Each structure stands twice: as C-alpha cells, then as structure tokens.
Amino acid sequence: MTAPHHRADPEGRRRANRRSLLWALPLLGGFMVAETAAGVLVGSLALLAHAGHMRTDSASIGVALVAVQVPGGKASAGRTAGLQRVEVLAALAAVVSEHHPVDDLHAHAAPSRSG
C-alpha cells in the first residue's frame, strides 16, 4: 500500500490537518489544566510556568485551526497564491506568539552582586 499523495488532493490534506489540530487542542488544554492544578497544589513555580507556556502553544494551535478553515481558493490576478498565504501568516503568528522577550531579558541579565 502506498502513502497518500496530498499534493494531488489539497482538500484531503486540509481535512487531515484540521483533524490533527482538533485532537491536539483539547489534549494540550487538558494537560495545561492538570499542570496548573498540580502547580498550585504543590507550590511549584516550574509547573505553573510550563502551564503558561502550554497556553501559548494552545493559542498557536487555535490560530492554525483558523488558518486551516480558510479555503485555499484559486489563484487570480489579484491573489497569485489564492488564499494559501493565510497559512503562512498563521505560522508567522505562531512563531511570534512563542517568542517571549521576558525570557530573553532573564537569560541575558547579569547576576546581581550585593556587597
């Protein structure tokens, strides 16, 4: 049996991506809730921080779900790539949402020396 060729069936690829994202979002959300509860119960800042990171992951998956909902559309003179750029812009939004400037500040901050 051969693997399916999604290039020949872009709508099939879109359905498969949507199905995968619809499974991933509640799974990730469930783990996020569990980590938040465990972090509060045991007083673990690490668990709470990871749950917060999972929240941004969930938002990225939500953006991807919205992008998958937009139909591909046919190319035209005004839209040479149809509406496929929506997926690229959604990927950019996901990357930007994963970047945490506060983390960068903490990583590059010099240790304080008290005398």
Residue 111 lies in a domain: no
Q: How remote is the C-alpha of 1 from its chain's centroid?
A: 32
Residue 114 inside a domain? The answer is no
Averaged pLDDT, groups of 10, the chain, 115 residues long: 58 83 93 95 92 87 82 64 70 72 53 54
Among 31, 44, 94, which Cα is nearest to 68's?
A: 94
- pLDDT at residue number 83: 65
Q: Is there a domain that residue 31 lies in? A: yes
Q: Which domain holds residue 94?
A: 10-73+80-100
**63 within domain boundaries:** yes
pTM tops 0.85, yes or no: no
Assigned domain for 108 exists? no
In a domain, 115, yes or no: no
Residue 3 lies in a domain: no
Distance CA 86, CA 97 (A): 16
Token output for 97 = 């949402």
Q: Find the helix packing angle between 85-98 and 45-69, rounded to 10°.
A: 170
52 occurs within a structural domain: yes
Q: Closest Cα to residue 65, out of 20, 111, 3, 4? A: 20
Q: What is the pLDDT of residues 69-94, one digit of tens each?
A: 776 666 666 666 666 677 777 777 77
